[in-house]
Amino acid sequence: MQKEEHPNRHKRQVVQGADMVLNEDQRWSLVDLLAKQTISAGTYKQTVWDVIGELTVKPLTGIPVAFAVLYAFWSVFGSFAGALCTDGFFVKFFDNHFLPWMQAIWPDPNSILYFLFVGDPLADNCFEAFGVLTSGLFIAIGVVLPAVLIFYLMMAILEDSGYLPRLAVLVDTLLHKMGLHGYAIVPTILGLGCNVPAITATRILETKKQRFIMMTLLAIFVPCGAQLGIMLEVIPESVGYVMLFLLIGYVVFGYLLSKIVPGTNPEILIDVPPYHMPQRANITKKLWMRTSGFIINAVPFVLLGVLFINLLYIGGVIQWLSDVFAPVFVHWFGVPKETAGPLIAAFLRKDLAVAQLSNIEMTQYQMISAVVLISIYFPCVATFVVMLKEGWKELLAAVGVLFAVAFIYGGIIHAIGILLGVA
């Protein structure tokens, strides 16, 4: 009598053989078997959020939405940080009340301590005073803090709503040509707040090639929120040109690095969650964590930077550096030789360096060139330290690329100005 075969025997054999080397047909059979045992079919009802989710991923509709979101992001950023907080309150408070009070109570306007901590006794605004307790506090609290606060608030809303993963899918094709994939947009946007967490966020990328390219592009072409806030205050009419030069450099040099740097560039694999309303608890926690981190890590560097630059001015170091590098600054980059001072300050804080440019007489195009040069010249010391933690070999390679890019791209920008007749 023939023995009857158990109906699940074949299934057990397939599952028990899963640890063996299977051919392609066997693997698909195993997938089908597991799917039947774990997935139950139901009736799908499309919601409004599902429709919006599809529209924001497809290029035809997603790209206009992305431009609209980024435009709204920038508009709120500029209006809140620049017009409402800085110009509407902090400029009036610091220039009309705090600066005159500091100038009145500090003894001996001709002393070195007065120059270091209060600044120019004839200054009528905190930007021109450039003292530790005047310009230092004004830049850190009156300009940078509102910019960072509103940036991180909007960033947290985009994260918690589920839009960022869709933006990553949308820009994947472009970033893939730069040796990256779509999720590199996350550290890029984070870098517009602060390069320090952005460098750390490069760990979400899969390969060393992707992490190196992203870290290098962040250090060179992505200005932090503090720097953007100062730019909106010092050169509001030229911020668009500066960002255009940085965006072009980001894409072009990213493409060149993808061809030079060895390694692989895998396809994007990302979970796209459904849209949902941002949770107030999540927004509050992210906002507090990131803003408090900025206050602790960045504000001391702003104050230290003002003190350090003032000491260099007193010692004649800035003048000496200006004379030594004058041929490079004037003839190659097309900026005044006095830009040496801000370039030194940029190593401590780039926002501080941009603020210092406001005291140098130059044309609009020279100002644009100088701001771009400061942006691409060298990462601030906090970013430098974080890059060092990612590996000293990667840091040395990134610094080498950085100096080459700054020299080449700075010269190209000057050449464009000459061709346009505005340099």
Flag the least confident range among 12-16, 75-79, 80-84, 155-159. 12-16
Residue 408 has pLDDT above 50, yes or no: yes
> Quick one: angle between helices 145-161 and 59-77, nearest 10?
150
Band (50; pLDDT cuts 50, 70, 90) = confident
State the Cα–Cα distance between residues 333 and 336, nearest whole angstrom.
9
Q: What is the DSSP string of 182-194?
A: GGGHHHHHHHTT-
Residue 79: CB atoms within 10 Å: 13
pTM of the model: 0.77
Average pLDDT over residues 263-279: 80
Q: Are 81 and 150 in contact (CB under 8 A)?
A: yes
Q: How much is the pLDDT for 20?
A: 54
Judge whether 336 lies within some domain: yes
State the Cα–Cα distance between residues 65 and 287, nearest whole angstrom.
25
Judge whether 293 lies within some domain: no
Residue-wise over 8-17: b if at least 16 C-beta within 10 A, else e? Answer: eeeeeebeee
Condensed to tens digits (0 to 9), the pLDDT of residues 86-119 reads 888 999 999 999 999 999 999 888 899 999 999 9
Q: Are 135 and 119 in contact (CB under 8 A)?
A: yes
Question: Which range in 200-204, 273-277, 360-364 is most confidently predicted, on average pLDDT?
Answer: 360-364
Judge whether 17 lies within some domain: no
Judge whether 200 lies within some domain: yes
Tokens of 336: 């005044």
Q: Are 255 and 292 in contact (CB under 8 A)?
A: no
Tokens of 276: 């949902």
Structural domain of 322: 53-266+300-420
Angle at 105 between CA 101 and CA 107, to 5 degrees: 140
Residue-wise over 294-318: b if at least 16 C-beta within 10 A, else e? Answer: beeebbebbbbbbbbbbebeeeeeb
Judge whether 208 lies within some domain: yes
Residue 241 has pLDDT above 70, yes or no: yes
Residue 19 has pLDDT above 70, yes or no: no
Tokens of 5: 């075969």
Number of domains into which the chain is organized: 1
State the Cα–Cα distance between residues 13 and 62, nearest whole angstrom.
47
Judge whether 119 lies within some domain: yes
Band (44; pLDDT cuts 50, 70, 90) = low
Judge whether 87 lies within some domain: yes
Judge whether 240 lies within some domain: yes
Residue 54's closest CA among 206, 46, 278? 46
Angle at 21 between CA 18 and CA 24, to 5 degrees: 90
